[in-house]
Every structure is written in structure tokens, then in C-alpha cells.
Amino acid sequence: MLLANLLRVLKGFLALLSFLTIIPAKVYDISLAAEYFYLAPLVGLIEGVIVILPLYLPVNVFLKSAITLTLMYVITGFNHLDGFADFADVLSSGKRGSDALRILKEPWRGSTAITATVLIVLLSYSAILVLSNYMALLVLSHIVVAELMYLLATISREPSYSGLGYLFLSKSKDKFKVMVNGIVFSFLLLAIVFLMNPMYVLYVLASILLGLLVLVYTHRTAHSILGYVNGDVLGFYFELSRTVVLVGLAIALALLAL
């Protein structure tokens, strides 16, 4: 019985990994992925570890930071970035309700989406340059953002229509899963602090605080404009919060070095 449950958890995690990344985990079950959304911090850990690998290359820091940035977006199949661009257009439109949803679903991008995407890419690249010798902080950013994306789903209203967003949000509210998620997330943070340096507690707290600030903004804005959070909004949150966390960590690193 225990072995069967462990195998199901493993299968569910692989389904989630397949859905959130381009990693060929070979389990393609979206419903199962949604059921195990609470393991998102572990996906963040894997993403973070893969993303920092180019930083070990014996090449110019500008080049390896650019490769790291590219891999950061490629590993998720650009899905979160697509959601960011879509919701950025909605924010600039001033529309609400069904009009906002129509803009969200349009296949083309407006000038706001393009400009906002370029800005977060530039900011992320600049932060990676600063953090290139502190790779654990890059991993930390992915864990925290993946965790808080799940948290946003747990506290948000589901879309009024069926779809991926509805599926993932509705499956995220089970109290037992929320508890397990909290344990997994806490363990990962403690492992980073234990393996690196007690001073990393400050970076952990800074990352969580910045991520929560973006979460509050995204939650309030999405519910005010759409009335709910959907998959595009989760993608918007992921990209915006990761950029804010990376920039915040780069600034914190500079301040603590003074």
C-alpha cells in the first residue's frame, strides 16, 4: 500500500514536471499534474539547478549569464512568459470582466506586452550578472517563486469557465496538500541555509517578502479586473515575481557587502 502510494506521488510529480517544464518526464496527464501541483517547489528546485549549469562554463561572465537567462525561459517552454505578456496587455487596456478576458485571449501582442517583456528580460539578465557567483541564490529564487505561485492558486477564485486554470486552482485547495506543500517548502529552505551559510536566512526572508508583495498585487489586480485568477495570471505572477526577487537579491547582496 505504501509503495503504491509512493509510486503514485512519483507519477504525479513527473506529470507536474512534464506540464511546467520541457523536461521529458514521460508522464503526460494534466489532471494528475494539477492534483500534485502542491509539489511545485520541487519543480522549482529542479529548474533552478538546471538553470545555473551554464554559470560553470569557462567563458566570459556576460556570455554565460546570457546563456543562463535563455535557459531560464526555455526550461518552461516560454509558457509563463506568454501569460505575462497576455496579462500585461490586459493591465494597459483598462478593461474589466468579459472585455478584459477577450483581450487576454487575443493571439497577438500589444506594445505594452512587448515593452514589459523586454524590460523584465533586461532586468533579469542584469540581476543574473550580479548573482553569477552566488548560484544558490538563483536556485532559491526559483523555489520561492514556484511555491508562491502555488500559494496564489490556493487563495484565489477559480475562473468562471473550465480550462487548465480552473483545473489547477480547484485542485490546489485541499488542506492536507497545503500542509504537505508547506513541509516540502520549509525543508528546501532549511537545506539551502544549512548547506550554504546561516546568513542566507536574510536572503530567504527577502525573497519570500518580495514574492509575497508581488502576490498581493497580482491577487488584488486579477480579482479586480477578471474576478478570478487563471493560468495566464499565474504565468504573469511567476515571471514578474521571479524578476522582482532576482533584482531584490542582487540589491540585497550589494547592501550586505557594504
Instruction: Dump pLDDT digits (tens) for 25-52.
Output: 888 999 999 999 999 999 999 999 999 9
107-156 pLDDT, tens digit per residue, is: 777 788 899 999 999 999 999 999 999 999 999 999 999 999 999 999 99
Amino acid 41: pLDDT: 97
Using an 8 Å Cβ cutoff, are 127 and 194 in contact?
no
Using an 8 Å Cβ cutoff, are 110 and 92 in contact?
yes
User: Residue 80 and residue 231: Cα distance in Å, rounded?
Assistant: 9
Question: Is residue 97 domain-resident?
Answer: yes
Does residue 88 or residue 256 have the better pLDDT?
88
Please give the sequence-ordered ranges of beta strands (E in DSSP) within 1-129, or none if there are none: none
188-237 pLDDT, tens digit per residue, is: 999 988 888 888 899 999 999 999 999 999 999 999 999 999 999 999 99
- Long-range contacts formed by 104-113: CB under 8 A, 24+ apart: 104/226, 104/230, 104/232, 109/85, 112/88, 113/85, 113/86, 113/88, 113/89
Question: What pTM, to 2 d.p., does this model score?
Answer: 0.94
Question: Is residue 27 domain-resident?
Answer: no
Question: Is residue 11 domain-resident?
Answer: no
153-172 pLDDT, tens digit per residue, is: 999 999 988 888 889 999 99
Amino acid 107: pLDDT: 74
Q: Is 59 helix (H, G, I), strand (E, B) or coil?
A: coil
Question: Is residue 188 domain-resident?
Answer: yes
Where in the sequence is the domain holding 201, given as residue range(s)?
41-257
Question: Is residue 85 domain-resident?
Answer: yes
Residue 95 φ then ψ, to 5°: -85, 160
Question: Is residue 163 domain-resident?
Answer: yes
Amino acid 98: pLDDT: 85
Using an 8 Å Cβ cutoff, are 159 and 166 in contact?
yes
Q: How many CB atoms are located within 10 Å of the residue 205 CB?
A: 12
End-to-end CA distance of the chain: 55
Q: How many CB atoms are located within 10 Å of the residue 102 CB?
A: 12
Tell which residue, 257, 251, 173, 254, has the closest CA to residue 209.
Answer: 251
Does residue 258 have a pLDDT over 50?
no
Query: Per the structure, how many domains does the chain have?
Result: 1
Confidence band of 101 (pLDDT split at 50, 70, 90): confident
Q: Please compute the mean of the pLDDT values over residues 55-70 and round it to a whole number.
A: 96
Question: Is residue 36 domain-resident?
Answer: no
The gap from C-alpha 255 to its chain's centroid, in whole angstroms, comes to: 25
Question: Is residue 250 domain-resident?
Answer: yes
Amino acid 185: pLDDT: 97
